[in-house]
Amino acid sequence: MMMTQELRNIAIIAHVDHGKTTLIDSIMKQSGMFRDNQAVDERVMDSGDLEKERGITILAKPTSVVWKDTRINIIDTPGHADFGGEVERVLGMADGVILLTDAAEGPMPQTKFVLGKALAQGLRPIVIINKIDRSDGRPEEVVDEVFDLFVALDANEEQLDFPILYASGRDGWCVEELDDTRENLHPLLDRILAHVAPPQVDAKAPFAMLATLLDSDPYLGRCLVGRVMQGTASVNESVRALNLDGSVVESGRLTKLLRFEGTNRVPVDQVAAGDIVCIAGLSIASVSDTICAPAVTIPLKSTPIDPPTMSVTITVNDSPLAGREGKKVTSTVIRERLLAEAETNVAITFSESGGKDAFEIGGRGELQLGVLIETMRREGFEMTVSRPRVLFQADEASNRLEPMEEVTIDVDEEYSSGVVDGLNRRKGEMLDMRAAGAGKTRLVFLAPSRGLIGYQSRFLTETRGTGVLNRIFHSYAPYKGEIIGRRNGALISTDNGIAVAYALFNLQDRGLMFVSPQTPVYQGMIVGEHNRNNDLEINVLKGKQLTNVRASGTDEAVKLVPAKRMSLEEMMAYINEDELLEVTPENLRLRKMYLDPHARKRAARA
């Protein structure tokens, strides 16, 4: 059986795109996890389709490597604030943490968020300044900024005495001093063994582990991943699950025990305290529950999860084009899928209306809700989605409080005034403005989440795609008053049918079109954005009247402006309160809540 001394548990935390997943790739290659001739994907830890496409980590995942007879469990964590629910819990499994910072960008909002959580749990970080080979890298300044951040987050003496390494995760090397020879990642692996303490656990106590992540396996069903806090357990042993208040959730047997080796899960007969393992056999137990021997009565401590700040309403697709593409269209199927998501994804909440035909899903932000809806449409679901709303709270005096976010923006100097103006209109307050090197300005704002819905795409337009915007939940503050939403009205189709190029050509001067010729449309569907601030009903089906007289110049080729294409998150943010987004496996369509023009007028008067 494995001794605890030969084990280290470490989490890698960083801001989005600072290179966590790429660094883990290099560590796995150099520690002999793969054969020399084995074909390995890039960012092998990002296994989901959406993770691969967007280049972001959405789910935290453990892996392990063996170095000098010691097994190191490494947990890759998400960098986006929307998936912060994962990071908080994952840190509970680790005894040490690697903080990765980009050599050019320095500490960013998410760095501050994840580092704050790690320091609060008493972990001692190893700091890596990554992407040292960037032409605009400024490693010495970044080290000072990281130190200032530790001080600002009330790090203790031990935590402030952090080791620093300089690395390029992509090229697979790290050094302790900038002028050392750049060979491999061995200095990092040695540093982990020296700096991170082995798990301090009681192997004699009865078995107890804290479930931290939920997973499902096509062969084993529901799996719980977590760290064994005390004792040992064998296959087929009886266990029970306790929730945070100590009541029993369920009792069962451990049908399968798995350990992480590289990217694989390997079945074992016994697991011991200190290790990160995956267990199967329980059907109800969830994240934050304690899985333990029947003798244990007190649950292990776990961090309560931050509440969601934003929600959308999901209903059945009732448009005239419903049911043509998706296989899963009924409210029962949608409800089951959303319940399953709320069960495995702790940062998501689920509630339903009295009639059980509308479901409200709460999450941390547009990105998280967008990822859920995108995943569902790929699974064959059809549904309609409302505009995201922020979730208000009330203080003791019953005043309305709304979620505020800290927004950090890096932008070229010439665009900074436009950005400041845009955020002022969204009730943002500027906290800081300073030069960030090479003609860039860094702006920090405190802005209501409401005002930031849909701001990302406008921001990219205003900064010609050069700006970088990062946002993170800050706190709840008194309601900031009315914020002006979308200024332009919608162009609404008057009829059901197929859009015709000739009609679109004649209507182009009314506004920007969202549909191309030959697109199926229906009455009440939004086919474009009006130039003015009122809605306008238009007929996009009107073909050319044909006569048998041939005149010169009548058959000029129709020249169309390309239709505007938007992503799922942009569309969700674009719609107003009286509009919906229709989501099907192949199409995204904007529509009015009431398709009939008379019903719309009645609703507007009411």
9 is in an annotated binding site: no
- Inform me whether the pLDDT recorded for 102 exceeds 80: yes
- Inform me whether the pLDDT recorded for 1 exceeds 50: no
Residue the block writes with tokens 């419903």: 322
Cα separation, 280 vs 236, whole angstroms: 10
Count the neighbouring beta carbons within 10 Å of the beta carbon of residue 177: 8
Cα separation, 358 vs 355, whole angstroms: 7
Count the neighbouring beta carbons within 10 Å of the beta carbon of residue 484: 8
Burial of 12 (0-12, 13-18, 19+ CB in 10 A): buried
The verdict on 241 and 97 lying in the same domain is no
pLDDT of residue 521: 92
Task: State how many domains the chain has.
Answer: 4
List 221's β-bridge partners, or say none: 217
Domain that holds residue 432: 393-478
- Inform me whether the pLDDT recorded for 222 exceeds 80: no
The verdict on 131 and 219 lying in the same domain is no
Count the neighbouring beta carbons within 10 Å of the beta carbon of residue 112: 17
pLDDT of residue 195: 85
22 is in an annotated binding site: yes
Contacts of 381 by beta carbon, 8 Å cutoff, 6+ apart: 326, 328, 329, 333, 334, 337, 583, 585
Cα separation, 530 vs 458, whole angstroms: 17
Query: E strands of 387-493, at which residues?
Result: 389-390, 393-394, 400-412, 429-435, 440-448, 468-478, 490-493
18 is in an annotated binding site: yes
Containing 129, the helix (H) or strand (E) segment is strand 125-130
- Inform me whether the pLDDT recorded for 511 exceeds 50: yes
Are β-strands 70-76 and 7-14 bridged in parallel, bridged antiparallel, or unpaired? parallel
Cα separation, 539 vs 492, whole angstroms: 8
The verdict on 417 and 499 lying in the same domain is no
The alpha carbon of 168 is separated from its chain's Cα centroid by a whole number of angstroms, namely 25
Question: Considering the chain, what is the average pLDDT of its residues?
Answer: 80
Choose one of 277, 292, 307: the last residue of a domain: 292
Are β-strands 276-280 and 221-230 bridged in parallel, bridged antiparallel, or unpaired? antiparallel
The verdict on 447 and 525 lying in the same domain is no
The verdict on 411 and 514 lying in the same domain is no
The verdict on 101 and 133 lying in the same domain is yes
Structure tokens, 339 = 């319940």
21 is in an annotated binding site: yes
Cα separation, 330 vs 313, whole angstroms: 15
- How large is the C-alpha radius of gyration of the chain? 27
User: What is the mean pLDDT of the segment spanning 28-37?
Assistant: 59
**Domain-located, residue 227:** yes
The verdict on 228 and 188 lying in the same domain is no
**Domain-located, residue 397:** yes
Q: What's 517's domain CATH number?
A: 2.40.50.250
17 is in an annotated binding site: yes
**Domain-located, residue 313:** no
Query: CA separation (Å) from 49 to 56, 326, 375?
Result: 11, 19, 9
List 66's β-bridge partners, or say none: 71
Contacts of 367 by beta carbon, 8 Å cutoff, 6+ apart: 80, 82, 569
Cα separation, 260 vs 65, whole angstroms: 9
Burial of 375 (0-12, 13-18, 19+ CB in 10 A): middle
130 is in an annotated binding site: yes
Q: Coil, helix or strand for 182?
A: coil
Contacts of 66 by beta carbon, 8 Å cutoff, 6+ apart: 31, 32, 72
**Domain-located, residue 310:** no
Cα separation, 184 vs 284, whole angstroms: 45
- Inform me whether the pLDDT recorded for 547 exceeds 70: no
CA-nearest of 222, 181, 15 to 113 is: 15
pLDDT of residue 138: 81
User: What is the mean pLDDT of the segment spanning 467-471?
Assistant: 76
**Domain-located, residue 55:** yes
- Inform me whether the pLDDT recorded for 435 exceeds 50: yes
Cα separation, 170 vs 38, whole angstroms: 18
Are β-strands 383-385 and 270-272 bridged in parallel, bridged antiparallel, or unpaired? unpaired
pLDDT of residue 31: 67
CA-nearest of 471, 372, 348 to 79 is: 471
pLDDT of residue 43: 46
Confidence class of residue 534 from pLDDT cuts 50, 70 and 90?
A: confident
Burial of 312 (0-12, 13-18, 19+ CB in 10 A): buried
68 is in an annotated binding site: no
Tens of pLDDT, residue by residue over 330-353, are 888 988 888 877 766 667 788 887
Q: Coil, helix or strand for 466?
A: coil
Choose one of 195, 224, 246: the last residue of a domain: 195
Cα separation, 208 vs 302, whole angstroms: 13
The verdict on 230 and 126 lying in the same domain is no
User: What is the mean pLDDT of the segment spanning 585-603?
Assistant: 89
The model carries a pTM of: 0.69
- Inform me whether the pLDDT recorded for 456 exceeds 80: no
Taking the alpha carbons of 569, 574, 580, 581 in that order, is the dihedral positive or negative?
negative
The verdict on 409 and 496 lying in the same domain is no
Q: What's 280's domain CATH number?
A: 2.40.30.10
Tens of pLDDT, residue by residue over 255-314, are 888 888 776 788 888 888 888 888 888 877 777 778 888 888 887 777 656 677 888 899
Tens of pLDDT, residue by residue over 184-203, are 888 888 888 888 888 887 87
Choose one of 292, 319, 337: the last residue of a domain: 292
pLDDT of residue 109: 66
Cα separation, 393 vs 400, whole angstroms: 6
pLDDT of residue 61: 60
Assess contact for 505 and 492: CB atoms under 8 A.
no
Tens of pLDDT, residue by residue over 108-155, are 766 777 788 788 888 888 888 888 887 777 888 888 888 888 888 888
20 is in an annotated binding site: yes
pLDDT of residue 36: 47
131 is in an annotated binding site: yes
Structure tokens, 243 = 């929730």
Per-state percent for the chain, helix, strand, coil, to nearest 5:
25, 30, 45
The verdict on 150 and 250 lying in the same domain is no
Phi, psi of 343 (to 5 degrees): -75, -40
What percentage of residues in the chain have a pLDDT greater than 70?
85
Dihedral (Cα; 13, 17, 19, 25), 10-degree rounding: 100
The verdict on 26 and 119 lying in the same domain is yes
pLDDT of residue 549: 65
Cα separation, 525 vs 541, whole angstroms: 13
**Domain-located, residue 383:** no
Confidence class of residue 384 from pLDDT cuts 50, 70 and 90?
A: very high
Give me the long-range contacts of 328-332 (CB less than 8 A, separation at least 24).
Answer: 328/379, 328/380, 328/381, 328/382, 329/381, 329/382, 331/356, 331/357
**Domain-located, residue 252:** yes
Q: Coil, helix or strand for 571?
A: helix
Contacts of 501 by beta carbon, 8 Å cutoff, 6+ apart: 517, 558, 560
Q: What's 428's domain CATH number?
A: 3.30.70.240
**Domain-located, residue 50:** yes
The verdict on 19 and 154 lying in the same domain is yes
pLDDT of residue 42: 46
Dihedral (Cα; 422, 426, 430, 434), 10-degree rounding: -30
Phi, psi of 414 (to 5 degrees): -65, -20
Q: What's 40's domain CATH number?
A: 3.40.50.300
Structure tokens, 351 = 């509630």
